[in-house]
Each structure stands twice: as C-alpha cells, then as structure tokens.
Amino acid sequence: MTRVLLIDDDAEQAAPVAERLQSLGYDVETTAAVRAGLTLLSVDRCDVIILDVGGTGCGVEAVSRLRRLHPRTDVIVWSGWEWTALAECLDLGASQVLLKPCSVGQIVLAIEATQRAWTKHAVDDTFLRLKERRSEELAAVPA
C-alpha cells in the first residue's frame, strides 16, 4: 500500500482529497504544516509527500528541505501559485507539480508516475549491479 503524507493548511481542500485517496486504497496522513509533517516522517516513512507550496509558512524552500531530509521520498507540489513560480520547485527536487484546482484523478496519476519511476530506477540499478558483477567474474577467469 502506498503511503501518502498530504501537507496542506487548507483543511477544506485537503480532507476530501485525503478521503478519496483512502477510498482508492492509499494510506493517507494529513497535516497542516511542514514542521508537523517532518515530525511524522521522523517516526514513520511514507512513499509520497503531497505538499501545498504557498500554504501558511510553506515556501519553495520546503521542497529542498524535505528532499534533503528524505531523499527517497517523492515530493509532489500541489499549489495555486502561477506555474512559472512553481518551476523552481522542480529545480529543488519536486517530482511533479500540480496546479490547484485539480482532480483526484490527476493526483493519483502523479502518485503512480512517481512510484513507477522508483520501480524502474530500482530495476535499472539491480541490472547494472548484476552486469558489473558478471564483468568482474569474467575478468577473474584466466585466459
């Protein structure tokens, strides 16, 4: 089950999204602030963070902070800011950027895309390690 942390200071927007994601089988935790989200992440891991950049006390620097502290957790930025302002979030490590308002379907597609990218990365990494090991074994065989 994919674990999602939804950080948004607007409970009226976050609650229905969290409920819908839960009904689709995601394990969702919500919080209104990045600091509270970091506290949750210090006790338990999650696969994806959906972050409302532009919420109370949450600027683009939150993306780099989350990525630095939790490099294997994808950050999907969800915001009503102008898209040109959100481009910096991608430079700081956000996996995806969604403009509010957006549908739960768009959020699900973003979550699934990040999870598939990690799966592909893991498969590619395993393949490269096996290939390197095989090359080392062949090099060790006397000619």
pLDDT tens digits along 72-105: 899 999 888 777 778 888 888 899 999 888 899 9
In whole angstroms, what is the distance from residue 45 CA to residue 72 CA? Answer: 10
Q: What is the pLDDT of residues 14-49, one digit of tens each?
A: 999 999 999 999 999 999 988 888 888 888 889 999
| Cβ contact 24:111 at 8 Å | no
pLDDT over threshold 90, residue 130:
no
The overall average pLDDT reported for the chain is: 83
